[in-house]
Structure 1
Amino acid sequence: MRKSYIYALLVGIMVAWGLNVTALKILVEHFSPVTLTALRIFTAGVVVLLFLWGIGRLGKVGWKEAKQIGLAAMFSVVAHHFFLAVGLTRTTAVNAGLVLGMVPLVTALLAMVFLGQRPTMFRLLGIALGFFGVMFVVANGNGGLGHLSVGDVYVFLAVLAQGISFIMIKKATVDARVMTGWMLIFGSLWLFVLGLVLEPRGLSSLKEGTPLLWTIFLASAVVATALGHMFYNQAVQHLGPAESAVFINLNPFFSLLGAHWLLDEPVSWAQGLGFVLIVAGVVLGSGGMDDVSARFRRTNVATRGGRKAGMW
Structure 2
Amino acid sequence: MTARGWFLFSLMGVIWGIPYLMIKVAVDAVSPPVVVFARCAVGAALLLPFALRQKGLTRNVRDHWRPMLAFACLEIVGPWLTLSDAERHLSSSTAGLLIAGVPIAGVVAARLFGDTEWLSMRRVTGLGVGLAGVAVLTVPHLTGGDARSLAEVLVTVLGYATAPLIAARRMKDVPTLHLITPCLALTALLYAPAAAATWPSALPSGHVLAALVGLGVLCTAVAFVGFLELIKEIGPTRASVITYVNPAVAVAAGAAFLGESLTPAIGLAFALILAGSVLATAAGTRPRKAPVTGAAPQPSQADGWVESA
Cα pair 1:44 1:225 within 8 Å, conserved: yes
**Following TM superposition, by how much is the alpha carbon of 1:183 offset from its aligned partner in structure 2, in angstroms?**
1.0
| SS, match of residue 57 in structure 2 | coil
Query: 2:177 — aligned with what?
Result: 177
Please say if 1:166 is aligned against 2:161.
no
Q: Which moved more, 1:261-270 or 1:70-79?
A: 261-270
Return the alpha-carbon distance in structure 2 between the equivalents of residues 72 and 254 of structure 1. 26
| SS, match of residue 267 in structure 1 | coil
Between Structure 1 and Structure 2, the one with more helix by share is 1
| SS, match of residue 78 in structure 2 | helix
Return the alpha-carbon distance in structure 1 between the equivalents of residues 69 and 228 of structure 2. 15
Q: 1:150 to 1:30 in 2, by over 3 A?
A: closer
Cα pair 2:20 2:96 within 8 Å, conserved: no
Unaligned runs of 5+ in 1: 295-300, 303-312
Cα pair 1:98 1:135 within 8 Å, conserved: no
Return the alpha-carbon distance in structure 2 between the equivalents of residues 162 and 184 of structure 1. 15
Q: Which moved more, 1:230-239 or 1:247-256?
A: 230-239
Letter in 2 for 1:256: V
Query: 1:22 — aligned with what?
Result: 21
Match of 1:145 among 119, 141, 144: 141
Cα pair 1:134 1:252 within 8 Å, conserved: no
Query: 1:265 — aligned with what?
Result: 260
The percent of aligned pairs where both chains have the same amino acid is 19
**Following TM superposition, by how much is the alpha carbon of 1:38 offset from its aligned partner in structure 2, in angstroms?**
0.8
Cα pair 1:49 1:58 within 8 Å, conserved: no
Query: 2:212 — aligned with what?
Result: 217
Cα pair 1:104 1:245 within 8 Å, conserved: no
Q: 1:278 to 1:149 in 2, by over 3 A?
A: closer
Instruction: After TM superposition, list the pairs within 5 Å mapping 1:100-111 onto structure 2.
Output: 100-111=99-110
**Following TM superposition, by how much is the alpha carbon of 1:280 offset from its aligned partner in structure 2, in angstroms?**
3.4
Matched residue count: 279
Match of 1:61 among 58, 62, 75: 58
Report Cα offsets for 1:112-132 as digits up to 9, x if no partner: 233433333333334444444
Match of 1:252 among 229, 239, 247: 247
Return the alpha-carbon distance in structure 2 between the equivalents of residues 236 and 162 of structure 1. 18
Instruction: After TM superposition, list the pairs within 5 Å mapping 1:115-154 onto structure 2.
Output: 115-136=115-136, 138=137, 144-147=140-143, 149-154=147-152
Return the alpha-carbon distance in structure 1 between the equivalents of residues 225 and 103 of structure 2. 19
RMSD value, Cα: 4.0
Return the alpha-carbon distance in structure 1 between the equivalents of residues 215 and 142 of structure 2. 30
Return the alpha-carbon distance in structure 2 between the equivalents of residues 95 and 181 of structure 1. 29
Letter in 2 for 1:145: H
Cα pair 1:19 1:255 within 8 Å, conserved: yes
Unaligned runs of 5+ in 2: 289-302, 305-309
Q: Which moved more, 1:103-112 or 1:210-219?
A: 210-219
**Following TM superposition, by how much is the alpha carbon of 1:69 offset from its aligned partner in structure 2, in angstroms?**
1.9
